[in-house]
Structure 1
Amino acid sequence: MVCESDGQYTLDILTDDALLHIFSYLNILDRSIAARVSRRWNCLAKQGELWRNVNLNNGIHTYSETSQSYYILSYQEAAILNLINNYLGPCLRHIQFHIPVTNKILRLLALRCPNLEMIDIQGDPSKVDLSLISCKLITIYLHLPLESVKRSPIGKFALFPLFRLENFYLQHGQVTDKLLCRLMQSYNLHSVAFEGCHWQLKPYKIALMSLCLPELTHLELVSCQFPSYRFLNRLVHHVATKCTHLESFILIQPSSMDGAPADCSSLIIEICDQKNLRHLQLGGIHGLTVEAVVLMSHSLPNLTDIGFIHCHVTNDIMKEISHGFPNLISLDITGSKCLSNIGLKHLQKHANIEILKLASCENLSCDVIVDTVLTLPKLHTLVLPDTTNYESCVEILTSKKPKLDILNAGLLNP
């Protein structure tokens, strides 16, 4: 509050810019309440610059004067339509729903928010027609119902005009040749992520993945099911050889319909054809060998971020990682239960390591962790294993490297 000469507190003497700055820190509920204070506040609260990014992750809230309580109207179409009508406009660029939306909502968004660039929604693909607003979209996040995994996620997706699309994320659903052909409409697609999806491509159409994504820089495949691991290897080979701009590749917990185990080394051999790769993260895949890591060090000179999560990193593999990648900045070896103090010592005095994640590395002693960390001059983030035995480790590191950000694996979200 601002105090006037007569001792009364008021906000009226603040400039419009000062009030707008204050309003920018308010959530949707508080902002809508502020709009009811006065005509001036109502006008300011509806300024477009306050509504460039809207997150409806927790739904729309309203306030009841009779019961003096807040009501969550997360799934009330009328509440969302009212918000769009009264507050959102041409300035809106990003909106996140995380709740089911309807075509009526999308139609109003298209009318009121012609400059919308990013949308993050949940919904049934057979009922949601994103072609209503997709002309100018740059980023699309689709969170489909889990049952969509067993059927096509496209729905009316075939009608999408996606000329400006740069980022596409699909959770649950089938990856088919029709879906990839639709993505071919965008010549600027840089980032693609599939999570929990079933790949239904025929083997001879694997090349579509690389042909439709010539400018791809980031590919993420998390908990996806493939027809076979031979299919996955061919897919990685096509992407590595044809997507010449690929810089980041993430493959976590793949599975196959034939039940055969994935082989980490064979996947590394395929991805080594991509000379521009900077970020590589593999998770939940067995079969990592020293020979595969040596091949990586010779074939991927630009690699600065490595993640082998639950891939059974051994002492010998750690030695090759430490010596073979002098430009390494980030290393994630979560779940390396075979790694001992001898292996971690190989990392000592590495000149460029900034981020080190050791979650679930149960065979490492506190003394060796401390000694290793103190020899890494650029390290600023450290994830420790989830055990109470490392409390003394934290105390020592905090006193000797006060700027180090230390995280405990038990406090992190899985």
Structure 2
Amino acid sequence: MRFTKAASIAALAMLSTPAIADTIELGPRPYYLIDQMAEGPLKEKLEACIGLPLKKTDFSIGHRGAPLQFPEHTVESYKAAALMGAGIMECDVTFTKDKELVCRHAQNDLHTTTDILATDLASKCTKGFSPADGSTKASAECRASDLTLAEFKTLNGKMDAADRSAKTVEAYMDGTAGWRTDLYATTGTLMTHAKSIALFKDLGVKFTPELKSPSVDMPFDGFSQEDYAQKLIDEYKAAGIPASDVFPQSFNLDDVLYWIENEPEFGKQAVYLDGRRDLNPSDPSTFSPSMAELKAMGVNYIAPPLWVLVTLDEGEITASAYARAANEAGLNLITWTLERSGPLTTGGGWYFQTVKDAIDGDGKVYEVVDVLAQDAGVVGLFSDWPATTTFYASCMGLK
């Protein structure tokens, strides 16, 4: 298995699932990013790895699959991520009207991630399409909980986007960012959580399901938050998946603590997604609960956005106080999300906000990845295009 400049993702449809599990093909993007780098030891190291054998790696986590170019949370997106060597795959988990678990980034995103507005099921949406009018932006809200599982499965996945200036449904649905593509969006096969488990098992990857916050009030028709958290775990147990292969995630610390208490084998690898808005990553005194307190609760994995883990020191990118505090407390760090910002010529936006003054182009991607891995001690990195992280991990000998 070797890295070549020739892209082979187009071969995806011709490969069976077992063939993908045994194949790694990265395409041209890692090479392109290396070519954009400033001269120096890191670039020389990465260049020296071009053409060397590749390996599947747990450092490379497929964020919703490979949504830089494929509709997220679809069979096609997941297969693409596996082909690029992602060792762990994410299914964001929510539920339908009949309380069946499905893979969607949010319970209320069907209007931007599927073709529901162009189908008869649009009439079942919480809020139908409303066109832009003057200063009022176009809007809609369609929830998985608006549909039964049978209805959900009739939808087609599309790139996550909407044109808020649209006057028509067709224009609203046609909002894909210029740096993404609709080339592979003609087919987007939606997934139940159980089907994702079966697919990931066949692809030979590990699992990191995220329990999404419901848009509906809980309990929902008698379905409590605890029922929801338990059902996620039960579907892995029913499929015979060992707990050591599963990294359940939630932004809700109570979900993580529920797993730690009630499903300890799964709970030991539960990931607390740290989205605290009042936290200053340069000041550990703002961390409440603190890293040590989280560890004492039984939390072993914590996952903030990548900007929380990096900072600038005299213009150089380095690990933040948050990263160092997590390491000192013995917490494993995972972070999100690489390649979700588009071209980095204007500083990288939200994901790179703490180092924006040093981000002047795509050549900085691997500098940030290197700091995350070598300085911050990150053990896993979510990416919208796992080829980038797979190449780095293979080159550096990461697991």
Larger Rg: 1
> Which has the larger strand fraction?
1
Instruction: Confirm or deny a common fold (TM above 0.5).
Output: no
Give me the TM-score of the superposition, normalised by structure 1.
0.28
